[in-house]
Structure 1
Amino acid sequence: MKRIVIINGPNLDRLGQREPGIYGDQTLTDLENLLVEEADKLDVEVQFYQSNHEGFIIDEINNEYADGEVFGLIINPGALTHTSLALRDALAGCDLPVIEVHISNIYKREEIRQHSMTAEVCLGVISGLGFDGYVAALRHLAKLD
């Protein structure tokens, strides 16, 4: 069974509380429950990781997913999207299909949020579809060989 890891970066543990006008009122637990339900339908396994610390996320990618047991990654790097060359390098070196997801449409936000340092090393980017973006990413990875 394919195992797909969903990584959420800084401040995504505060979904439902932080800027609900931008990110909605659902929580990270709500997102994870939605993705578990979808994974069951797709016959894939999902694993979740969230950290507010750049180095922990990089360590997780470099150490945990290099073992060949993970099929692909879905990542919402949060603000690290726009600032982290180190995260970009970790994603480039992990040799897995990666889809970058953003709940809000980063291209309708502040200018600094309109550039992704990580996008060029990802299979694709989904932005602005809320939790549906994660579902679309999961469906896409599930059908890859």
Structure 2
Amino acid sequence: MKIHILVIHGPNLNLLGQRETSVYGTDSLEKINTLIEKEAEEHGFEVSTFQSNYEGALVEAIQEARGKYDFIIINPAAYTHTSVALRDAILAVNIPTIEVHLSNIYKREKFRHKSYISGVAIGQICGFGVQSYLLAIKAIAEIIKQKKETEE
């Protein structure tokens, strides 16, 4: 059975490589997506990526994932700290979700320390730059491996 992963990028991530490179690095979103696809392929996963600056579009992407994807990796960006709607959408679809951030949100401004998503995610990975996404894929591989071992 092929594992399908939806990777969702939140607002302003379309400007990666151009904005605040000291915080977010110099890789473009296109390059990050290529690295994500390569990592997923190494594990035999299929991955789709989606980016929007609009909260409603992100909610719709999560809702439309039901029945199509086995896992969601989401970088909600600024909506991490404000969006009950994203939190509720993740709860509604009941798809295991990993929250990721390029920067360590706990070493930044105090308002960034609160995540509405972490309480409904199976885990959170932050502060490792592009590796945060790749570590999320590796975590999914480990989750699947452990589940298979438990079922045997």
Give TM-score scaled by structure 1 length: 0.96
Taking the aligned partners of 1:37 and 1:83, their CA distance within structure 2 comes to 32
For 2:65, give the aligned amino acid: Y
CA RMSD between the two structures: 0.9
Identical columns (%): 44
Taking the aligned partners of 1:25 and 1:134, their CA distance within structure 2 comes to 15
What is the CA distance between 1:46 and its match in structure 2? Answer: 0.5
Within 5 Å, give how 1:93-108 maps onto structure 2: 93-108=92-107
Secondary structure in 2 matching 1:100: strand
Secondary structure in 2 matching 1:121: coil
Match of residue 74 from structure 1: 73
Match of residue 57 from structure 1: 58
Question: Max radius of gyration: which structure?
Answer: 2
1:14 correspondence with 2:15? yes
Q: Aligned pair count?
A: 143
What is the CA distance between 1:142 and its match in structure 2? Answer: 2.9
Taking the aligned partners of 2:68 and 2:26, their CA distance within structure 1 comes to 34
* Structure 2: runs of 5+ lacking an equivalent: 148-152
Taking the aligned partners of 1:141 and 1:35, their CA distance within structure 2 comes to 13
* Structure 1: runs of 5+ lacking an equivalent: none
Taking the aligned partners of 1:51 and 1:69, their CA distance within structure 2 comes to 19
Q: Spell out structure 1 runs of 4+ moving beyond 6 A.
A: none
| 1:71-121 CA distance string (max 9 Å, x none) | 100000000000011111001111111000000000000010011011000
